[in-house]
Amino acid sequence: MADLVLDYALLHKLAGSLRELKGKIQFDVETGSRRAIVTSDGEVVDSSQVGSSTLYATLSAFFSACHTPFKDSMELLDELADTFDGIAKAYFDLDADIAGKVNLDRLRANISGWQADTAAYERYLDLKDREITFQYYDKDGNLVDGSVPVWSGDPVPKPGDAPTAIDGTSPVGSNDTTAVLDDDGNVISETTTVTSGDGLTYTEKTEFTYRDTDGDGRTDVIDYTSTITHADGTEEKIEKKTNDDGSFVVTSTTSEGTTTSTVTPRADGGSHQVTVDHEGGTTTTDIVVTGPDSGTKTVVGPDGTKVYNGNPKTGEWTLVSEEAPEDDYLPYTTVTI
């Protein structure tokens, strides 16, 4: 089966063209859809200017009949443009979100590489002037001192500054990520801006906090706060906070309200999640690990119950059963009067 390819840039351009078309024909449509006979300049024509009462009546009927279709056509142009633009922006946001996450992963990989190069350089500086001294007897039986350098390889070049940006500029847009690092090389904030080259823009700024909860000197909890500006101009704030017991809460706030997800991980890699959307609807998701690379996921919510099989490690799931929600109404009862 062929992959579905959606050109959201083309849809966005088409929406703009429809709005441009409306602007060009709006005067003519409004003029032609009036319930009276008008000139091309919009001036009302009376029967004396037409000269024939029969022709005037016919023209009046024509203009009156055109009123509703012409008016509807302008509204349909708006609706069609909004539909195309809405689809374009939704898919652009999805791609931009994925691009930002890929950029952040690439940046962290670059930072890890830079940290390894820096550690190697510091090791080189520590060893390059050191020598191992020893004593030995020469061919004449004399005890003499000798030495060999500890570092015998080529000099290690000094790394440059830590990488803090991914430049994704292309002829059809840009996909750029910049970051601020702490002294340990952790990303404490990053900003991603994606543009389509034809007017669509997506921006995401995220601030990270790192915690060592077990005192072993290594980070085991990463929380974050993200502020996203979507292509349609709306803002969304996503925040993750981890509790002391290992459970965490993710909240997403938009102009429509707040959605909250509370996730409790299980020791075997499974989890229990309860999500309450901005309208108060509740959905529970339970992931149960059944093997090294297998498990089940059960989702119960307003849309019913869905059960999946898949791999909890990779997040790949296949729907195996689905049950519709129970009817909210009571069954009919026969009443005899």
Structure pTM? 0.72
Q: How far apart are CA 128 and CA 115, in angstroms?
A: 20
Give yes or no for a contact between 180 and 188, defined as CB atoms under 8 angstroms apart. yes
User: Is residue 296 included in any domain, yes or no?
Assistant: yes
pLDDT score for 2: 47
303 lies in some domain: yes
Answer yes or no: are the C-beta atoms of 310 and 317 closer than 8 Å.
yes
Kindly state whether residue 298 falls inside one of the protein's structural domains: yes
Show the domain range for 268: 243-337
**Token pair 């900003």 in the structure block, residue:** 191
Looking at the 3D structure of the chain, how many domains does it have? 1
**Is residue 263 situated within a structural domain?**
yes
Task: Please report whether residue 221 resides in a domain.
Answer: no
Nearest to 191 by CA among 202, 177, 173, 181: 177
Q: Any alpha helices (H) in the chain, and if so which ranges?
A: 8-32, 47-50, 53-127
Q: Is 122 helix (H, G, I), strand (E, B) or coil?
A: helix
Domain annotation covers residue 315: yes
Spatial separation of the C-alpha atoms in residues 318 and 296, rounded to whole Å: 9
Query: Which stretches in the chain have pLDDT values below 70?
Result: 1-8, 24-68, 70, 170-172, 327-337
Looking at the domain assignment, is residue 312 inside a domain?
yes
257 in any annotated domain: yes
